[in-house]
Amino acid sequence: MTKTYYTEDHEWLRVEGDIATVGITDYAQEQLGDLVFVELPEAGRKLAKGDVAVVVESVKAASDVYAPLDGEITDSNAALSSDPALINSAATGDGWLWKMKIANTGQLEGLMDEAGYNAHIG
Protein backbone atom coordinates (compact mmCIF):
# COMPACT_ATOMS: atom_id res chain seq x y z
CA MET A 1 0.00 0.00 0.00
CA THR A 2 1.62 3.22 -1.18
CA LYS A 3 0.57 6.65 -0.08
CA THR A 4 1.76 9.99 -1.47
CA TYR A 5 2.30 13.06 0.67
CA TYR A 6 3.36 16.63 -0.13
CA THR A 7 5.22 19.36 1.74
CA GLU A 8 4.87 23.13 1.68
CA ASP A 9 8.39 23.22 0.20
CA HIS A 10 7.10 21.48 -2.95
CA GLU A 11 8.36 17.98 -2.31
CA TRP A 12 6.47 14.75 -2.75
CA LEU A 13 6.98 11.59 -0.70
CA ARG A 14 5.84 8.17 -1.80
CA VAL A 15 5.66 6.06 1.35
CA GLU A 16 5.73 2.28 1.39
CA GLY A 17 6.04 0.80 4.90
CA ASP A 18 8.79 2.82 6.58
CA ILE A 19 10.57 3.81 3.32
CA ALA A 20 9.84 7.13 1.63
CA THR A 21 10.89 8.01 -1.91
CA VAL A 22 11.29 11.78 -2.17
CA GLY A 23 11.30 14.16 -5.11
CA ILE A 24 10.24 17.67 -6.04
CA THR A 25 6.85 18.43 -7.54
CA ASP A 26 6.16 19.35 -11.12
CA TYR A 27 5.32 22.85 -9.91
CA ALA A 28 8.77 23.10 -8.30
CA GLN A 29 10.69 21.91 -11.36
CA GLU A 30 8.79 24.43 -13.46
CA GLN A 31 9.79 27.22 -11.08
CA LEU A 32 13.45 26.13 -11.11
CA GLY A 33 13.77 25.77 -14.87
CA ASP A 34 16.27 23.55 -16.68
CA LEU A 35 18.33 21.60 -14.15
CA VAL A 36 21.98 20.94 -14.91
CA PHE A 37 23.37 19.38 -11.73
CA VAL A 38 22.15 17.53 -8.65
CA GLU A 39 24.25 17.04 -5.53
CA LEU A 40 22.99 13.72 -4.19
CA PRO A 41 23.29 12.44 -0.61
CA GLU A 42 25.22 9.27 0.30
CA ALA A 43 23.37 6.25 1.60
CA GLY A 44 23.65 5.99 5.37
CA ARG A 45 23.49 9.73 5.97
CA LYS A 46 21.16 10.61 8.84
CA LEU A 47 18.90 13.58 8.35
CA ALA A 48 16.71 15.58 10.67
CA LYS A 49 13.57 17.18 9.29
CA GLY A 50 14.57 20.50 7.70
CA ASP A 51 18.20 19.52 6.94
CA VAL A 52 19.42 20.18 3.41
CA ALA A 53 19.31 16.76 1.75
CA VAL A 54 19.97 17.65 -1.89
CA VAL A 55 21.09 20.69 -3.85
CA VAL A 56 19.60 21.05 -7.33
CA GLU A 57 21.24 23.49 -9.69
CA SER A 58 19.58 25.18 -12.65
CA VAL A 59 21.38 27.19 -15.33
CA LYS A 60 20.89 30.22 -13.13
CA ALA A 61 20.87 29.21 -9.46
CA ALA A 62 21.36 26.54 -6.80
CA SER A 63 18.37 25.54 -4.64
CA ASP A 64 18.20 23.44 -1.50
CA VAL A 65 15.84 20.52 -1.10
CA TYR A 66 15.08 19.79 2.57
CA ALA A 67 14.49 16.53 4.38
CA PRO A 68 10.72 16.40 4.98
CA LEU A 69 11.14 13.94 7.87
CA ASP A 70 13.77 12.56 10.24
CA GLY A 71 15.43 9.45 8.87
CA GLU A 72 18.34 7.80 7.12
CA ILE A 73 19.16 7.88 3.40
CA THR A 74 18.98 4.40 1.89
CA ASP A 75 19.45 5.26 -1.78
CA SER A 76 19.72 8.16 -4.20
CA ASN A 77 18.86 8.40 -7.88
CA ALA A 78 22.18 7.81 -9.67
CA ALA A 79 20.58 8.42 -13.08
CA LEU A 80 20.43 12.13 -12.19
CA SER A 81 24.24 12.40 -12.23
CA SER A 82 24.32 12.02 -15.99
CA ASP A 83 20.83 13.33 -16.73
CA PRO A 84 19.64 15.95 -14.22
CA ALA A 85 16.97 17.04 -16.73
CA LEU A 86 15.03 13.89 -15.72
CA ILE A 87 13.70 16.06 -12.91
CA ASN A 88 12.26 18.46 -15.48
CA SER A 89 10.80 15.77 -17.69
CA ALA A 90 9.56 13.40 -14.96
CA ALA A 91 9.59 15.15 -11.60
CA THR A 92 7.22 12.74 -9.93
CA GLY A 93 8.56 9.60 -11.64
CA ASP A 94 12.08 8.87 -12.93
CA GLY A 95 13.24 12.20 -11.53
CA TRP A 96 12.98 11.08 -7.90
CA LEU A 97 15.84 12.26 -5.66
CA TRP A 98 16.38 9.89 -2.74
CA LYS A 99 14.87 7.14 -0.61
CA MET A 100 14.95 7.28 3.16
CA LYS A 101 14.05 5.07 6.10
CA ILE A 102 11.56 7.04 8.13
CA ALA A 103 12.55 7.39 11.81
CA ASN A 104 9.18 8.55 13.04
CA THR A 105 6.11 7.84 10.90
CA GLY A 106 4.17 10.18 13.18
CA GLN A 107 5.76 13.07 11.27
CA LEU A 108 3.75 12.08 8.19
CA GLU A 109 0.65 13.45 9.87
CA GLY A 110 1.84 17.04 9.36
CA LEU A 111 2.08 16.62 5.57
CA MET A 112 -0.48 17.37 2.87
CA ASP A 113 -2.31 15.04 0.53
CA GLU A 114 -2.61 15.83 -3.19
CA ALA A 115 -5.79 17.91 -2.80
CA GLY A 116 -4.19 19.88 0.04
CA TYR A 117 -1.07 20.52 -2.04
CA ASN A 118 -3.02 21.62 -5.08
CA ALA A 119 -4.86 24.10 -2.88
CA HIS A 120 -1.49 25.23 -1.46
CA ILE A 121 -0.06 26.12 -4.86
CA GLY A 122 -3.38 27.66 -5.88
Partner 1 sequence: MTGDHTNQLPLEDLHSAAGARFGAFAGWNMPLTYPAGVMKEHLHTREHVGLFDISHMKLFVVSGPGAADLINRACPLDAKTLEFKQSKYTFFLTEAAGIVDDLIITRLGEDRFMVVANAGNAATDEAHLREIGKSFDANIEPLDRVFIAIQGPEAAAVLESAGVDTDTLFFMQGFEPRTNWFMSRSGYTGEDGFEIGLPEADARELLAKLLGDERVMWIGLAARDSLRLEAGLCLHGNDITPDTDPASAGLMWAIPKDLRTDGKFIGAAALSKILADGAKEKRVGLKPEGRQPVRSGTQLFDADGNPAGRVTSGGFGPSAGFPVAMGYVSAPLAKAGTRVFADVRGTKVPVDVHSLPFTQHRYRKG
Q: By CB under 8 A, tell whether 78 contacts partner 1.
A: no
What minimum distance in Å lies between the beta carbon of 57 and partner 1?
Answer: 5
115 contributes a contact to partner 1 by CB under 8 A: no
Using CB under 8 A as the binding rule, whether residue 90 contacts partner 1 is answered as no
Question: What is the Rg, in whole angstroms, of the alpha carbon atoms belonging to the chain?
Answer: 13
**Residue 60 in the binding site for partner 1 (CB under 8 A):** yes
Quick check: 19 and 82 in contact, CB under 8 A? no
Does 61 engage in binding with partner 1 (CB under 8 A)?
yes
3-state DSSP helix/strand/coil percent for the chain, to nearest 5?
A: 25, 40, 35
CB of 100 to partner 1, least distance (A): 20
Is 92 buried (19+), middle (13-18) or exposed (0-12) by CB count in 10 A? middle
Q: Which residues bind partner 1 (CB under 8 A)?
A: 33-34, 36-37, 39, 55, 57-62, 81, 84, 88
